[in-house]
Amino acid sequence: EAQVTQNPRYLITVTGKKLTVTCSQNMNHEYMSWYRQDPGLGLRQIYYSMNVEVTDKGDVPEGYKVSRKEKRNFPLILESPSPNQTSLYFCASTRTTGPGNTIYFGEGSWLTVV
Amino acid sequence: AQSVTQPDIHITVSEGASLELRCNYSYGATPYLFWYVQSPGQGLQLLLKYFSGDTLVQGIKGFEAEFKRSQSSFNLRKPSVHWSDAAEYFCAVSEPGSSNTGKLIFGQGTTLQVKP
């Protein structure tokens, strides 16, 4: 079964305490990305990766880091979280071959920074 | 730059009534078009998508959407709404052939409330 798995699903943390949200896909997709969802703003892309060791900024990259050491994994790193990073985060894996794009989303990670 | 506008932030309809959610996009060519639904506390579920061909697209849960190139619109419709359709709906586009080809640009979302 095609899956995008992200962890943790729910997290409350304190300002400045580094955290990592993991994301893993089992579809051998080259393209993966992270989004954050905020009320009234929809989802916005944070970072994306076209392949292993190839990452680039999306629309709202400030305060985040990513890495892509293996094709299946694309962790999102908050080095020093701040309250304005309280949000719902989605990892996505995209099949970019063939007609159109087929995008698979993880179930979301609710992050609260206090 | 591409943008997606969902003009209605909040819509309330009675159960059994018809529904139309509006979506307009700004892009020079025809993008890929998507509608997602998010139930409270849940993730995103794809309702339907348009890549090319027939401009009337059928999706899951009885939803359909029509792509109108002249109006740069991709409105979502359902003939008879059920209480379980209460959720937030997102329109999204992606840009074929771009350097960031997998990127989705989302609208702000429309919250649907269903009255009994």
Question: What pLDDT shows up at residue A5?
Answer: 96
Q: Pick from B43, B51, B52: which is nearest to A105 by CB? A: B43
pLDDT band at A84 (very low <50, low <70, confident <90, very high): very high
Distance of CA A57 to the CA centre of its chain: 12
B63 near B79, Cβ under 8 Å? no
pLDDT per residue as tens digits for the range B75-103: 999 999 999 999 999 999 988 777 777 88
B9 near B22, Cβ under 8 Å? no
Please check whether residue B80 touches A, CB under 8 A: no
A42 with B106: Cβ contact below 8 A? yes
Indicate whether A9 pLDDT > 80.
Answer: yes
Distance of CA B68 to the CA centre of its chain: 13
pLDDT per residue as tens digits for the range B14-34: 999 999 999 999 987 788 999
What mean pLDDT do residues A66-77 have? 97
The alpha carbon of residue A40 is apart from the nearest alpha carbon of chain B, in Å, by: 5
Question: What pLDDT shows up at residue A99?
Answer: 72
Q: Which residues of B touch A44 (CB under 8 A)?
A: 106
